[in-house]
Amino acid sequence: MRIVHGIALSICALAAGVVLAGEEKIQLKEGPGVDKVRANCVSCHSLDYVLGNSPFLDDKGWDAEVKKMINAFKAPIKPEDAAPIAEYLARYYGKR
């Protein structure tokens, strides 16, 4: 039983190392509103979320997503920052 436990721990440690080794910091495209995205979005989730949704969300989709973050998840986004964030995401990461 100790051998099985040791093997399981070794596999987990190895897998964690592979995951950490593959992590790269995501760089957002520069443009109007990027500062608001950096200041607001990453306080709750990684930027992987932006890239993962970019093939699916158009202008209306990103606007709805930002509103969902504010209303459903209580993201602390200032009302005046919501539109610039949605516009940035739609322009640079929107489905076309």
Per the document, the length of the chain is 96
Considering the domain boundaries, does residue 88 fall inside one?
yes
User: In whole angstroms, what is the distance from residue 11 CA to residue 47 CA?
Assistant: 28
Q: Total structural domains in the chain?
A: 1
Considering the domain boundaries, does residue 82 fall inside one?
yes
pTM of the model: 0.73
Considering the domain boundaries, does residue 12 fall inside one?
no
CATH number at residue 33: 1.10.760.10
Considering the domain boundaries, does residue 21 fall inside one?
no
Q: What is the mean pLDDT of the chain?
A: 84
Q: 2: burial class by Cβ within 10 Å (0-12, 13-18, 19+)?
A: exposed
Retrieve residue 36's tokens.
Answer: 């608001």
**pLDDT (tens digit per residue) in 21-42:** 445 588 999 999 999 999 999 9
